[in-house]
Each structure stands twice: as C-alpha cells, then as structure tokens.
Structure 1
Amino acid sequence: MSQNIESVCIIDDDNIYINLVTKIIELKRLSESVLVFNNGKEAMDFFYNSMDSEDKVQVPQVILLDLNMPVMDGWEFLDEFSKIKDDIKNKIDLYVVSSSINLRDINRAKSIDAVSDYITKPLKPRDFERILE
C-alpha cells in the first residue's frame, strides 16, 4: 500500500488511544509521520509556530481531534483553528474523533467549516481506510 498521507496529527489526551492509532498507521503504512499533541493548546502552539517559521514545517494533511481534553479542549481548538485555517497553505482534513454519541455534539462539530467529519470512537478499520487512503 502506498502512502498517500505524509503526516497525520492526533490531538488527544488518551495515551492508549494514541498508541493504538499510531501503531495502526505505522503497521498499515498509511502515513510517513504522526504528530501527537495531548491537548489543543500544544497543537495550536505548533500551528502558530509553523506559520511564523521560515523553515518548511511539515503541516499535517489529516488531524484526528478529540473533544474532551485538559488545558484546551477540542471545541476551543476548533474555535482557534478556524481563525487561522485559511492562512495555512496546505489543505488539512480535520476529523473530530470522540466517544460522545450526543447528537448535539455531532451536529455542532459537523456545522463547523474546518471539520471534515465526526467519527465515534473507537475507530474501526473502515474509518482508517476512508480517512487515510
């Protein structure tokens, strides 16, 4: 299988989930690299720094975003990311990946321009195929 995605970004505070998703991506060779941030603030700091940097920083093509995290949760990240997404030259597909099955959360996430889709945890093999291939 060829790698279509150069970089995937996981924004989540659940280390078990992070390790599982990272292993699947590596084993299936779905991406060359995986960036991991444990909360939205760490991720936003990365995006702000990559915009300010003169060096070519590898901006991820896919973001897998959890909603419930400390420091800056997924909703706060989406608010901040929406403000800068048009300034990022590369196209980024952002997927909210949450254990919440609350229709209000799902509809709220899907109503945000920056969000490509909402996926309920745990990710299934067909979810990886749809997102990363």
Structure 2
Amino acid sequence: MKKFSCILLVDDDKATNFANRLLLEDMDVTEKIMVALNGKEAIEIIGKACLTGSCPELILLDVNMPVMNGFEFLEAYSKLDIAQKQSVVILMLTTSLNPKDVDRLKQAPIQGFLNKPLTEQMVSELLQKYIKNSRQ
C-alpha cells in the first residue's frame, strides 16, 4: 500500500494529537508524523522540514487554536516560499457545524474539511483520494 511520506497534525488538544497519531501509526499510512500545537508552531516545523526534504504531504489542521488559529495558519502558509507547497493536501478538522464556520471553511484554500474525531474510514478515504496507486 502506498503511504503519505509525512503527515503534520496541527491541534492544540494534546489528547486529539495523541489519538490521531495512534490511529495513523496503527494504520501504517505514513513514514513520519510531526505534531504542532498551534499554527505558528506548524509554520516553523514546515519551514525546517521542507529544507531537509521532508515536507508534509498531508496537513490535518484544527480550526480553533490559541497563538495562531487554522485560518491564520493558512494565510501565513500561503506566504511561505517552498517548492512543494502546491502538492501538499491541507484538510481542516473541526467540531463546529456552525453554518458560518462551514461557509468560511468552504471558501478557504484547502482541499476539504472533516468533522472530528478522525476515524479509520476517513483515513482510508484520504489514502484513496490523495495517494496514487493506493490499494486497500
């Protein structure tokens, strides 16, 4: 089965990051998992990782976080000067089904959004959609 080379989890909830990391490791869908607790930390991690050739292929991004939220992250990310940026899949994870939030998510420069919690079925669908030649 094809895998993501690297996944970046961005969420201020350590329990969510722990659960998502366990799920991804159990499913063996990536070579590397990086974790950031807010958007600012994620930008720093991406900057360093892309310099060493391990830019994340998938970013799972929380909407509401302190320091720098998901939307602020997207704005900062758009200003990064990295060659791999166009091939990175960014999905926002949310618990909010507020119509205003959903409208804002639909207009964001992302590939989509998912409702928390992340499940095995969601991850399998991501593999099928975003990894070429994936076999389940």
Percent identity reads 29
The answer to whether structure 1 residue 9 and structure 2 residue 5 are counterparts is: no
Shift of 1:3: 3.8
TM-score (norm 2): 0.84
Shift of 1:50: 4.5
Q: Which runs of 5+ in 1 are unaligned?
A: none
Q: Which runs of 5+ in 2 are unaligned?
A: 129-136
Contact residue 61 and residue 93 of structure 1 kept, 8 A:
yes
CA deviations over 1:5-51 (Å, ceiling 9, x no partner): 11100000111111111011111101111000000001112233455
Contact residue 36 and residue 45 of structure 2 kept, 8 A:
no
CA deviations over 1:46-78 (Å, ceiling 9, x no partner): 233455x4xx33000000000111111111101
TM-score (norm 1): 0.85
The answer to whether structure 1 residue 116 and structure 2 residue 111 are counterparts is: yes
The answer to whether structure 1 residue 80 and structure 2 residue 76 are counterparts is: yes
Q: Which runs of 4+ in 1 moved over 3 A?
A: 48-51
* Residue of structure 2 equivalent to 1:92: 88
Contact residue 95 and residue 119 of structure 1 kept, 8 A:
yes
Q: Provide the C-alpha distance between the structure 2 equivalents of 1:44 and 1:75, rounded to a whole number of angstroms.
A: 12
Shift of 1:123: 1.8
Q: Provide the C-alpha distance between the structure 2 equivalents of 1:31 and 1:63, rounded to a whole number of angstroms.
A: 12
The answer to whether structure 1 residue 105 and structure 2 residue 101 are counterparts is: yes
Amino acid in the other structure paired with 2:115: T
* Residue of structure 1 equivalent to 2:127: 132
Amino acid in the other structure paired with 2:95: S
Amino acid in the other structure paired with 2:35: V
